[in-house]
Amino acid sequence: MARIIELYDTTLRDGTQAENFNLSVDDKIKVCRQLDRLGIDFIEGGWPGSNPLAVDFFQQMQGVELKHAKLAAFGSTRHFQKSPENDANIQALLNAKTPAVTIFGKSWDIHVIDALRIELEDNLQIIEDSLAYLRPRVQHLIYDAEHFFDGFKNNREYCLATLGKAIAGGAETIALCDTNGGTLPHEIPEIIHRVQQYCAEFKSDVRIGIHSHNDSETAVANALICVQLGANQVQGTINGFGERCGNANLTSIIPALVFKMGLECNVGKSIDQLYTTARLVNELANLPHNRYQSYVGDSAFAHKGGVHVSAVQRNPMTYEHLAPEKVGNIRRVLISDQSGKANVLHKAQKYGLVLDPDDPLMASIISELKELENQGYQYEAAEASFELLMRRALGLQREFFQLEAFRVMNYKDSMTKNPITEATIRLYVDGNEVHTASMGDGPVNAMDRALRKALTRFYPSLEDVKLTDYKVRVLTGEYGTGAKVRVLVESKDLESSWGTVGVSVNIIEASWQALVDSINYKLMKDEKAVS
């Protein structure tokens, strides 16, 4: 039977420990859905008992159906002075009602003595007790051997004994953690071979996993070496986010496993979702994309000038180690009009639009797309805006309404009260002039209310639309408060959700663009459904 490598994503826990990396509960659910589409096997959702947001996330996820991925709750072994039945952390793991539970324990004797301040034998006991209590109560039980590699170097016999207790407690997978990220690739083989020998002595079918951090810039290499040596599970984060220098980057590991090492992974079936996944996580975290990132960066398959371009146009293999389409990326020849054509054709097919590669409109669409991207537009989290752009270029987008003017006023008549915001809008629908105003909690909310108020009499289905998320990103700090901003709006109706985008030096104008696209997309979607 072929060995299948499990992919375990910990972006929602380890990733959120990165500086400036924050996700709301709704964002985390969106990431879960995308990771499931990608084919990730386990998604670590966080520490259920750590804060109210974590509790809310796990409660909401009980109503979210994942087609393949299994959600995992994360926590520690029991407190030394409490039994598992009376340990709040252990009970919180069970209350999360996830199919998988991952707990970590101390492998490094220094941590047992200096951090837990208990005897070495006591640590062995709480590892076994915690796992044995959880084993009959959860479907999948994973043990993270924290600081394993440092512990092995310092006191290998004790470090291995902690694994023995994890096996005795019923762990199905033991993930060896390079928590401080200081292990180098050449140190890995000896340690892995010894672990395999030790586990074999128990005649156990326990699986070995690897959880590496990137403090020495070797997390990906260490993970791949462990898999080559027989590890069956790889833990990491999308784009390598994590505390300090980050975790092993799954967007680099996954293509290496599938295309370079030829190993079987469930994620291999949908690996063309990798680029989209990487971009979505960045957008939801409101962080810039690393264009130079392997596989999923915008420059990963970009070619600029001279001999390289000439050779790539004849045979891409001359300067590419992998076809970009395999991971959902595209080849970009920076001096050529071919840049972006494959992406546009792919999107057209997805939206059900007929577009020939040699259609003169193709050059027009690509030109407009390039110009908009230069202005700061990004469409990875705003596909509704991109579809509208293409439909306008093809002459297929109906004008549902025509804006004449809008005005937003903020005034504050008392320093002890919140500001008051009013939006006024004048527009036409099929020749009918509509002039309306609405109050709101801030300018965007006021504009949203005024726009719906003006249009709902003509398009009643707009009552079902709700604005579920709103993000503002400053594109450059060069001009201070006069900097250009990008606004992302997430909307939903009774059937689906969609994202739209706006860009301007004026935050209200950028918000208006995104709101108008959201309304237009809803009306276009309803019209398509009827036809």
Percent of the chain with pLDDT over 70: 94
Express each pLDDT in 421-457 by its tens digit: 999 999 999 999 999 999 988 888 899 999 999 999 9
How are the residues of the chain apportioned to helix, strand and coil, as percentages rounded to the nearest 5? 45, 20, 35
* 337 pLDDT more than 50: no
Which tops the pLDDT comparison, 237 or 347?
Answer: 237
Query: Worst-scoring range by mean pLDDT, 28-32, 212-216, 333-337, 490-494?
Result: 333-337
* Model pLDDT, residue 116: 93
Taking alpha carbons only, the member of 5, 15, 17 closest to residue 42 is 5
For residues 322-336, give the mean pLDDT: 80
Contacts of 517 (CB under 8 A, 6+ apart): 382, 384, 385, 388, 489, 500, 501, 502
Phi, psi of 506 (to 5 degrees): -105, 115
Residue 249 near residue 237, CB atoms below 8 Å: yes
At 237, which amino acid appears? Answer: T
pLDDT-based confidence at residue 287 (cuts at 50, 70, 90): confident
Q: For residues 197 and 382, what is the distance between their CA atoms, to the nearest angstrom?
A: 51
User: Is pLDDT at 73 greater than 80 in this prediction?
Assistant: yes
Tell me which residue of 122, 136, 148, 201 sits closest to 172, measured CA to CA: 136
Q: What single DSSP character describes residue 249?
A: B
- Alpha-carbon distance of 101 to 223, in angstroms, equals 22
Q: Which residue segments constitute the domains of the chain, with CATH numbers given?
A: 6-284 (3.20.20.70), 301-336 (4.10.430.20), 402-530 (3.30.160.270)
Confidence (pLDDT) at 138: 97
Averaged confidence pLDDT in the chain: 91
The model's pLDDT over 296-305, given as tens digits with 9 standing for 90+, comes to 998 899 876 5
pLDDT digits (tens, 9 = 90+) for 117-152: 999 999 999 999 999 999 999 999 999 999 999 999
Banded model confidence at residue 223, pLDDT cuts 50, 70, 90 = very high
Measured CA to CA, the distance from residue 74 to residue 177 in angstroms comes to: 14
What does 153-175 look like in DSSP terms, one character per residue? HH-HHHHHHHHHHHHHHT-SEEE
289-300 mean pLDDT: 91
d(CA 150, CA 111): 10
Beta strands in 179-273 (DSSP E): 207-212, 233-236
The pLDDT, as a whole number, for residue 222 is: 98
413 or 34, which is more confident: 34
Q: Assign 406 a pLDDT band (cuts: 50, 70, 90).
A: very high
pLDDT of 336 reads 44
- The reported pLDDT for the residue numbered 307 is 67
Tell which wins on pLDDT, 479 or 315.
Answer: 315
Q: What's the pLDDT at 144?
A: 98
φ, ψ dihedrals at 422, nearest 5°? -135, 135
pTM greater than the 0.85 cutoff: no
Q: What is the rounded CA–CA span in Å between residue 408 and residue 424? A: 6
**Token digits for 223?**
């993970």
Tokens 């009980």, residue located: 62
Q: When comparing pLDDT for 467 and 75, which is higher?
A: 75
Q: Exposed, middle or buried, 134 (CB in 10 Å: 0-12/13-18/19+)?
A: buried
441 three-class SS = coil
Tell me the angle at which helices 274-284 and 25-38 cross, rounded to the nearest 10 degrees.
170
| Tens digit of each residue's pLDDT (9 = 90 or more) over 265-284 | 999 999 999 999 999 999 89
Query: Are the beta carbons of 236 and 250 closer than 8 angstroms?
Result: yes
